[in-house]
Structure 1
């Protein structure tokens, strides 16, 4: 295996590890279905697809859903971002997409600025995404601050 290939794999693993840490910390582990702050049925680590209220899943099933959902989030980032991303920035964006969805990311000013080469301005956009149904949520403020810090990693102050 070439050094370049090892670096790419290491970078991808690093991004996945970072994103998993951020998502699992801010989503929390809930093996039984619940409604999120805007009323969407949710389970495990913020999974929202095919969730039935009253449903309970094992930790292993929840980890599998987290891996699948994060894989989808990374795929969305890779589809829409036209520039190379260091692992920390890629992780921050995957966490963001995991939370808000690909559609909102694809239409965001954040993405437009990132693809225009305005990295700091793009990362700063994360601070705007702290509302759910018009209500500012403390958990989103903390999550976006963590994502922004990752996004800005490596940029000059």
Structure 2
């Protein structure tokens, strides 16, 4: 199939006419309507010469389309493809989505794939160029334009679906959303939340995500519960150290009473035992008071831990009632 006047005019409009040779950013000399084959420094052409060169340039493209496209094409589709290949080159055409979709029988997908070829490297950066966007739109429009006007569907009989708008949410999707979408609250910068509200909603979200796991008291602990558990651990460690010290004092006294020879060999003389006995009530009172404090501290932390677990269970219950 030969390229029609519509296709040639499309190429002319976007390539532009250069009567004198121009050194393009692609590091090639260009003359006429994007002709590079025989262009050289100082070369000049007339408008008639430029048109003949253009027709010569599209002949291998026409042969390329015949060799690579297995789907039948009408004149407009063929001309649009000629303009596209003239711009992107043979190598890009052979690996393009346009060609793959065409040979798969998906002409609408091929038309949409025209828009992929709208970027170029500018200063070593890949950017979308306005000129390429407009050219791809014109080529896509020509590709989709039927050669028989009787095939055009009246626009009054076809109405685009609301889903074409990217921000549109259908009723089906809206009804499938949870009662409370905590992600929306997190991303909503206009809604100010207090620290207590953020903590409560975080706990409820955590409980909701773990609801299928069963008992909420057996879930992974929160930050507050982790701090409470750390307090319990520290208190138990200190109470244990105090108990160990009290046991050591008792062992020393027992050693002096039952094995005085061994105690004296270890440096525990009678005078030292006398000092220990004189200060023993103070030491026992101090150790006992310290142990009582840390045991009470542990009990308070455990009570706080259980309060957090009960609060989380109540949040989960309220969420289930809301559902």
Counterpart CA distance in 2 for 1:114 and 1:45 is 28
What is the rounded CA distance, in whole Å, between the counterparts of 1:96 and 1:88 in structure 2?
A: 12
Aligned 1:66-105 pairs, distance under 5 A: 66-105=54-93
TM-score, length-scaled by structure 2? 0.42
Counterpart of 2:136 in structure 1 is: 144
- 1:75-111 superposed Cα distances (whole Å, 9 cap, x missing partner): 2111110011011000000111111112211111110
1:6 aligns with: none
Alignment of 1:55 with 2:43, yes or no, is: yes
SS in 1 for 2:22: strand
Deviations 1:45-104 (A, max 9, x none): 011213213221222221110011122222211111001101100000011111111221
Corresponding residue for residue 129 of structure 1: 117
Residue of structure 2 in register with 1:44 after alignment: 32
Using structure 1 for the length normalisation, give the TM-score: 0.84
Larger relative contact order (Cα-Cα within 8 Å, sequence gap ≥ 6): 1
Structure 1 residue 118 corresponds to structure 2 residue 116: no
- State the distance in 2 between where 1:54 and 1:148 align: 36
1:24 matches 2:12? yes
Return the offset for 1:37. 4.4
Question: Secondary structure of 1:83's match?
Answer: coil
Structure with more of its chain in helix, by fraction: 2
**1:37, 1:132 within 8 Å by CA — same for their partners in 2?**
no
CA RMSD of aligned residues (A): 1.9
Residues 38 and 132, structure 1, Cα contact 8 Å, conserved in 2: no
Q: Gaps spanning 5+ residues in structure 1: where?
A: 1-11
Q: Give structure 1 regions of 4+ aligned residues with deviation exceeding 6 angstroms.
A: none
Q: Secondary structure at the match of 2:72?
A: coil
Please list every run of 5 or more consecutive structure 2 residues that lacks an aligned counterpart in the other structure.
147-151, 159-323
Matches of 2:128 and 2:24 in 1, distance apart? 14
Q: 1:16 & 1:75 partners in 2: Cα distance?
A: 15
Cα separation, 2, equivalents of 1:26 and 1:104 = 19
